[in-house]
Amino acid sequence: METAKRTVNAEQPKKRRWKKWTLVTLGIISLLVVSVVIFVNVYINRSLPELEGEVQLEGLQKPVEVIRDDDGVPHIQAENSLDLFRAQGYVQAQDRLFQMELARRQASGTLSEVVGEATVNQDKYFRTLGLRRAAEKSLEVYSQDAVTILQAYADGVNAYMEEAKEEKRLPPEFALMGISPEPWTPIDSLTIGKYMAFDLGGHWERQAFNYYLVSQYPEEKAYELFPDYPKGAPTILDESEIVNVAASFEEVTLPHEFNGSNNWVVSGDRTASGAPMLADDPHLGLATPSIWYQMHLRSPEYNVSGVIFAGIPGIILGHNDHVAWGVTNVGPDVQQLYLEKRNPENPHQFLFEEEWEKAQVFDEPIQVKEGETIAYEVVETRHGPVISEFAEQSGKDTVLSLRWTALDATTELEAVLDINKAANWNEFEKGLEKFLAPAQNFVFASKDGTIAYKANGRIPIYENPDDALLPMKGWEDENLWQGYIPFEELPKTVNPEIGYVATANNKVTDENYPYHISHNWAQPYRYERISQMIEANDQLDEETVMDMQMDVKNLQAEEFVPLMLERINRSELAGIEKDGLALMEEWNREDERDLPQPLIFHRWMLNLQKVLYEDELPAEMMDLFHGAGQTTDELLRKVRNGEESKWIEEAGGIENALTSAYTMTIRNLSEKYGEDPSSWKWGEYHEVEFTHPLSSISYLERFFNPGDPQPVSGSRVTVRAAGFKENGLVNHGASWRFIIDLENMKEAYHIVGPGQSGHLKSNWYHDQLDDWVEGDYHLTKTDNYEGQSLILSPAS
């Protein structure tokens, strides 16, 4: 007993010591964690930009004042233009330096240097396209004045970059990735400009897909999936005007197939103020930071307000004291694939007119973080870079090269600087002569009451429009482009009798126009809805136009739901499936986030595509099937009109296809949202978050993507554009909303989702996310504005 007792007593001090040391260890760990958190917080806060006081800036001739208003919009006031653009570079770098670094790396094909192996294929793609090589060619054709401005802007970026390095105040993303930015150059700005042309620029993927179709399927079946436009659908210009005109990192990045926009301009006859009104909302990727940066630039030569891409000087969309403008994407056929015949004895020679021509060869070694440098070679024929490896099965046994207008020397940034100073339509149109790629639908309004439209850019001439549907033989001279549509003959209208112009990526011209523009138009749903709303109201004001931009009427559903309800096989439905159908019959055809019907409709349409194509088309080829939804619409129209469709017949007929897609939809939705369809909500699936590129790292998500995803109304086909991935996450839509009544040129309404700043601790980081969801605009003025003031002074 005593021995046992002594043993127990001997253990008790050990347990007490263990508990004591455990508490001490936990205390030390907690202290360390708190210390690390404090250190990280102090470091992150230190990297916030200075918004008040005075900073010396090398190269300035005179002091420049930067006033940031309550929405984080910088108003830059300078006494000369070079100081203005040097300050613009400095201010953009303050708020968006990391975004600028990633943008130039993505466009240049150098992401792998800082990311690693995950982006090697993406880098290969952009090295092959050669956006940076095209930027270098472009700089050579810029005027000396424009080059001087580009350099002043770059000097401003570098001034902030060096200041942040010296004071260890670089944005936290640089520390997380273990990188330090290299000096900015004019080529970087032009390369980012070329990237935007890439994002909006063409249809080579669809050509590759069409080539796959004709090589794998009978002619009739293959041609059924070629792009088409609904018969009788409206175009932007009517016949009389046309007669006048004719005088995360891992995947290879392809342009979003729904890249588009809305814009419209109305004359004073249709507004409450009696002055023209203009609205614009470009549809691009939705992310943190926003693709747009809002600014106001003021000097003796400039007083212009609007948005620009981070990394570029000037204002690309907006207004000055005299004119306002906005754009949508024309989507012309400016990319052409060519089949090439390679010399079997020399892989760098290709046949042209019965002779072997030597191609250009570029060594493009790809440095990989924590890996070996990859030797990579880019080959360019007379047409352009060989891109076969990115064309999936279409390039498997074929050499394909790409001819593309944006790979030529072009001068868009010089055009931006010119139109920023335009005082009327003639000066504005003169500036557009230098805006070559991407081709854009410009709408315009001026203080003198003029409204105008022009489909602007370098658009190749095709003798036979069908040539733009498939790759052409690169070894024959007759297949070369026949020049470009003359500038004076591009589609245009000034002060149309109807009193407005609207564009929504729909078809620009009808069959009377003498030139081919595109085979790949957006379906006319958004354009038709915009026209309906304009024509229903001849007293438009800002509030009305805001409501128009947020409109969620679904004209695709208006067209096809009656057909779907009529042709579905109701005898095969039971229980919850019948309940869902009853809901569809009473739907008001609006894509509101609290309604169940939009959820059923959009999933039904997506599943219909799966029924029609999934078993026949390889998954990798579906990635090149841009506009698959539009093609499906055309197949439904054929059936509705009593015509035959091979793809629908082989899916068991329209009744079977619709029924299979519908039952699949209800089954999937009931598994996720329950057995009562009336309780389902579009917004439970259709949510927006504005994700940051580093948020894919799980422990960083809560910092870079603050808050939960938010339910949002609208869809791909509504005026309130909100495109979504298959998991429902909204990743595409109105990246900027803009409205101006030209009665007062000193103010305009904006939304830049999710906010102005790229710094996660800034008050302006995600402060416009709720505004974007709800449609709450902020007013930006070009005089009588107030805010935090920073003076940039010439370095002594």
Q: What is the pLDDT of residues 656-683, one digit of tens each?
A: 999 999 999 999 999 999 999 999 999 9
Q: Where are the alpha helices (DSSP H) in 109-255?
A: 112-115, 120-129, 131-139, 144-166, 172-177, 186-200, 204-216, 219-224, 239-246
Q: In the structure, what pLDDT confidence band is assigned to residue 235 with cuts at 50, 70 and 90?
A: confident
What's the pLDDT at 237?
63
In which residue are the tokens 């989507």 written? 331
Is there a contact between 425 and 452 (Cβ–Cβ < 8 Å)?
yes
Give the E-state strand segments of 366-412 in sequence order. 377-380, 399-404
Identify the pLDDT of residue 3.
38
- pLDDT the model gives residue 696: 78
Choice between 783 and 21, residue whose per-residue pLDDT is larger: 783
Domain assignment present for 262: no
Task: Inform me whether the pLDDT recorded for 138 exceeds 70.
Answer: yes
Q: Which domain holds residue 606?
A: 555-589+596-680
Task: In whole angstroms, give the CA distance from residue 662 to residue 91.
Answer: 52
Give the residue-averaged pLDDT of 558-582: 97
pLDDT the model gives residue 250: 41
User: What are the CA-CA distances from residue 79 to residues 84, 86, 419, 709, 741 (Å)?
Assistant: 8, 12, 20, 44, 29
- Centre a 10 Å sphere on the Cβ of residue 476 and count the other Cβ atoms it contains: 14
Indicate whether 559 belongs to any domain.
yes
Report yes or no: 621 and 392 within 8 Å, Cβ to Cβ. Answer: yes
CB atoms within 10 A of CB 53: 9
pLDDT at 238 (0 to 100): 53
Residues 762-778: what's their mean pLDDT?
A: 97
Beta-carbon contacts of 17 under 8 Å, excluding residues fewer than 6 positions away, are none
Amino acid code (one letter) for 183? P
CB atoms within 10 A of CB 652: 13
Give residues with Cβ within 8 angstroms of 740, minimum separation 6: 277, 278, 279, 319, 324, 445, 747, 748, 749
Angle between helix 186-200 and 144-166 (nearest 10):
100
HSE toward the beta carbon, residue 717, CA cutoff 13 A: 23
What does the buried/exposed string (b/e) look like for 680-700 if buried means 16 or more CB atoms within 10 Å of the residue's CB? bbbbbbbbbbbbbbbbeeeeb
Contact 689, 752 (CB under 8 A): no
The pLDDT value recorded for residue 41 is 67
Closest among 594, 538, 589 to 718, alpha carbons compared: 589
Q: Which residues contact 273 (CB under 8 A, 6 or more apart)?
A: 541, 741, 743
Question: 3-state class of 577 per DSSP?
Answer: helix
Short-list 127, 129, 145, 130, CA closest to 186: 145
* More confident of the two residues 15 and 485: 485
Cβ atoms of residues 468 and 516 within 8 Å: yes
For residue 705, the SS3 value is coil
Backbone dihedral region of 192: left (phi > 0), alpha (psi from -120 to 50 degrees) or beta? alpha
Are the beta carbons of 432 and 327 closer than 8 angstroms? no
pLDDT at 396: 75
User: Could you tell me the pLDDT band of residue 246, with boundaries at 50, 70 and 90?
Assistant: very low
How many C-alpha atoms does 437 have within 13 Å on its Cβ side?
Answer: 30
pLDDT tens readout for residues 155-195: 999 999 999 999 999 999 999 999 999 999 999 999 999 99
Please state the residue numbers annotated as binding site.
333
Q: Please give the pLDDT value at position 581.
A: 97
pLDDT digits (tens, 9 = 90+) for 434-485: 999 999 999 999 999 999 999 999 999 999 999 999 999 999 999 999 999 9
CA 415 to chain centre: 21
Whether 39 shows a pLDDT value over 90: the answer reads: no
Angle formed by the axes of helices 186-200 and 131-139, to 10°?
A: 120
For the chain, report the end-to-end CA distance as a whole number of angstroms. Answer: 90
Q: Are strands 317-319 and 377-380 parallel, antiparallel or unpaired?
A: unpaired
577 falls within a domain: yes
Rg, the chain, Cα only: 29
Instruction: Note the pLDDT of residue 702.
Output: 78
In a domain, 575, yes or no: yes
Residue 567: inside a domain, yes or no? yes
From the list 268, 325, 276, the residue with the least C-alpha distance to 456 is: 325
User: Is the pLDDT confidence value at 605 over 50?
Assistant: yes
Active site residue 189: no
pLDDT score recorded for residue 510 = 85
Q: For the segment 504-563, what is each residue's pLDDT rounded down to a tens digit?
A: 999 998 889 999 999 988 899 999 999 999 999 999 999 999 999 999 999 999 999 999
pLDDT of residue 487: 98
Q: Known binding site for Ca(2+): residues?
A: 333
pLDDT tens figures, 341-380? 999 999 999 999 999 999 999 999 999 999 999 999 999 9
SS3 749: strand
Would residue 565 count as lying in a domain? yes
For residue 13, is pLDDT > 70? no
Amino acid at 411: T
Please tell me the predicted confidence (pLDDT) of residue 699: 73
Q: Say which amino acid occupies 99.
A: Q
Considering all CA atoms of the chain, what is the largest pairwise distance in Å, rounded to the nearest integer?
Answer: 117
State the Cα–Cα distance between residues 18 and 12, nearest whole angstrom: 10
Instruction: Give the helix/strand (H/E) hosting 603.
Output: helix 597-609
Task: Write down the pTM of the prediction.
Answer: 0.91
| Alpha-carbon span 48 to 94, nearest angstrom | 8
Write the secondary structure of 283-319 as one string of H (helix), E (strand) and C (coil). EEECECCCCEEEEEEECCCCEEEEEEECCCCCCCEEE
- How many folded domains does the chain comprise? 1
Does 648 map to a domain?
A: yes
Q: What local confidence, expressed as pLDDT, does residue 44 receive? A: 87
Residues 403, 407, 408, CA angle at the centre, nearest 5°? 100
Sheet with 53-57: strands ordered across: 53-57, 788-794, 64-68, 74-77, 292-298, 303-309, 317-319, 323-329, 440-446, 451-456, 492-494
Q: Is residue 448 part of a domain?
A: no
What is the average pLDDT across 127-151? 98
When the pLDDT of each residue in the chain is averaged and rounded to a whole number, the result is 91
Establish how many alpha carbons lie within 13 A of residue 514's alpha carbon, considering only the half-sphere containing its beta carbon: 10
Catalytic annotation, pick one of 47, 138, 189, 261: 261
In angstroms, the CA 133 to CA 406 distance is 11
What pLDDT is stored for residue 234 in this prediction?
67
Convert the pLDDT of each residue in 102-116 to its tens digit.
Answer: 999 999 999 999 999
Per-residue b or e along 203-214, where b marks 16 or more CB atoms closer than 10 Å to that residue's CB: bbbbbbbbbbbe
